Structure 1
């Protein structure tokens, strides 16, 4: 990833956190990144490409932080990481759910997680818990242990 690409994605992150994902236009991102629209479009031909690059970058960052020896804790850690970062949590509001759902099931995102069927299932579970959280951590852990863990074995 180039410095310019990172600068653009970082600028987008700040705007997503402040305004929501679908409310942010390419012109606003270019201005926040300190580049022209032409430069922005040189790196990202459209908004979908920018969204995809952002989601891929953040998914890689989160996956790198997850424990590999405990799948339940890995899912819970992923949930905590997204909830702790406003630029990520913005993807799970009502206005942005369609964009999130489409990107979450894209090959580019699923490829980061390994086996395609397992990845699709995990992403659906995580997105579901981010959109409709459990009452508390204990309930989410119980749901993951009861329904997700058996499917990973």
Structure 2
């Protein structure tokens, strides 16, 4: 009985992945909001009844697709930055590589098209999986209060989705913005932390 249950579960997983793969191909060539369940069923080669057996509505399918891709990107990003020891450099490399992978994927970049509905930003903001992955990434840089990490993760997701929808002039421009405005707040150096704790003004405060 256990073996049969396992096989049934595996078949369901394969079928769901096939549907999500078909949806991804449609997302690559169309505005995500315009892709309907009928379109996905046809692309997957299944009936509407079969499609709804795995995903009760389009929101459920969107959520499943985004979560699957989020796990995949997180895994790839982790491998790419695994050899970087410095936490601030790891943060910067992680952010830039994650945005690069989204932009290189036609299926994912379509979620952040400035001409379409902001469905990608909405999904990222509402997704507990994306928030958890981002929080885990920040905790891997250095231990910190979980509440503070969660708040930083929410803010960081918003920053990244903003850049995906409204990119900088080029990769160097975006890197400079992240390095100046994001890295010091998300992963402050020991000097920054000591100055902040002492209440002494920073160079930027003094110049102001």
TM score, norm. by length of structure 2: 0.69
Selected match of 2:117 from 93, 96, 100:
96
CA shift for structure 1 position 149:
0.5
Say whether the 8 Å CA contact 2:25–2:107 is kept in structure 1.
yes
* Mapped partners of 1:141, 1:102: distance in 2: 24
Say whether the 8 Å CA contact 1:91–1:100 is kept in structure 2.
yes
TM score, norm. by length of structure 1: 0.93
Unaligned runs of 5+ in 2: 1-11, 85-89, 136-148, 188-208
Output the aligned Cα RMSD. 1.4
Selected match of 1:64 from 55, 61, 75:
75
Aligned match of 2:14: 3
Structure 2 matches for 1:111-130, cutoff 5 A?
111-114=132-135, 115-130=149-164
* Mapped partners of 1:58, 1:121: distance in 2: 20
Selected match of 1:31 from 32, 42, 45:
42
Query: Number of aligned pairs?
Result: 152
* Mapped partners of 1:130, 1:101: distance in 2: 9
Structure scoring higher RCO (CA < 8 A, sep ≥ 6) equals: 1
1:54 to 2:65 alignment: yes
Unaligned runs of 5+ in 1: none
Deviates more, 1:100-109 or 1:88-97: 100-109
Larger Rg: 2
Aligned match of 1:137: 171
* Mapped partners of 2:132, 2:37: distance in 1: 26
Aligned with 1:61: secondary structure?
Answer: helix
1:108 to 2:119 alignment: no
* Mapped partners of 2:31, 2:99: distance in 1: 19
